[in-house]
Amino acid sequence: MNNTFDRVSEAFSRQSEMFDEYEKSNRILTWMRSVTRSHLLRHLKNNDIILELNAGTGLDAVYLAQRGFRIHCIDISEGMLNKLARKAADLKLESLISYQLLSFTGLDRLDKNSFDYIFSNFGGLNCTDNLDDLFQQIGRVLRPGGKVTLVIIPPVCPWELALLFKGKFKTALRRLHKHGITANIEGIEFKTYYHGYHKTVKALGNDFKIIESQGLASISPPPYMINFPVLYPRLYRWLTKTDEKLSHLFPFNRWADHFIITAIYQPQKNYIIENGNRYAGK
C-alpha cells in the first residue's frame, strides 16, 4: 500500500463487516445520520439522480432508494461495496442502486453532466487535502442547477476544545494541525485533514452558491462519546434538541463535530477540464 487511498481502502474493507453493527449501537451516530437525512430531503427533488461519494455499506443509499431515488454509489473500499451490493439485492433495490469501485478523485471516469445531486456523508472528503481539484471534478459531472451536500469534519469542535480543562491537550488540539493528523482504523494508519467552512466555500468557488449550512453535534457530544446517552439520557435528549434548534446559526453551523453544507451549481463560464486542470472555454 503505497499511498493514502490504498491504506484507506484496506482500513475500511477491514471495518466493513462490523460497520453497520457499530452504528446501530451508537445513538449519537444514529441521531447525526437522521439530521443529515432530513437536511438532504429538504433539497432533493423527486426525479433527482444522485451520486454518493464514499458510500460505504450503503446505509444512506438504501434509505434514499426506498424513497424512490436513483443513486450511483462510489467507494474505494471493496469490502464496503460488497456489503452494499448484498443489501441492494436482499431489499430488491438493484434497479435504483448502482455501485462502482472508484475514488472521489476519479470522477473524470464518469459521464459529464450525468447527476442532479452529489452527496458525501460523515467526513469522507477529509481524506484529501485538495478540495479545489475535487470540486472542479464535481462541477464536471453535476448538471447546471444541480446541488451538492457535503458533511465535513471542521478544525473546531467545542466538545473537543473543552478537553483542555481536563488536561487532554493532544485530543483537544488535534484538529488544529494544518497539515493533517494520522488516523488509525483497524490497525492501518493514514492522513486525515480538517476543512473549515471558509476553506470549503473558497474551494467550491464562484460556480457554487451556498444555500444552507448546518452544524452537526456542536452542542451535543461527538459520536466517540458513545456512553453519554446511556449515562445521561435526559441531558442528552435536551442537548440534541437544542443542537437542532441552533444548528443553522453562527457559530453552531461551523464549529461542531461535523458541518453540513449544501450548494447549488450555477456555472459562470463554460469550462473545459483536461488532466485535472480547468480552463475557460468559449
Q: Does domain 4-280 have CATH number 3.40.630.30?
A: no
Instruction: Give the C-alpha separation, 74 to 52, whole Å.
Output: 6
The amino acid at 213: S
All structural domains of the chain with their residue ranges: 4-280
Check if the beta carbon of residue 119 is closer than 8 Å to that of residue 52: yes
* Tens-binned pLDDT, residue by residue, of the chain (282 aa): 447 778 888 888 888 888 999 999 999 999 999 999 999 999 999 999 999 999 999 999 999 999 999 999 999 999 999 999 999 999 999 999 999 999 999 999 999 999 999 999 999 999 999 999 999 999 999 999 999 999 999 999 999 999 999 999 999 999 999 899 999 888 889 899 999 999 999 999 999 999 999 999 999 999 999 999 999 999 999 999 999 999 999 999 999 999 999 999 999 865 555 555 554 454
* Element at 146 (helix H, strand E): strand 142-152
Check if the beta carbon of residue 273 is closer than 8 Å to that of residue 136: yes
Which pTM was predicted?
0.92
Cell triple for residue 234? 435526559
Closest CA to 125 of 33, 35, 193: 193
Instruction: Give the C-alpha separation, 145 to 142, whole Å.
Output: 8
Q: Hey, CA dihedral for 98, 212, 45, 68, is it positive or negative?
A: positive
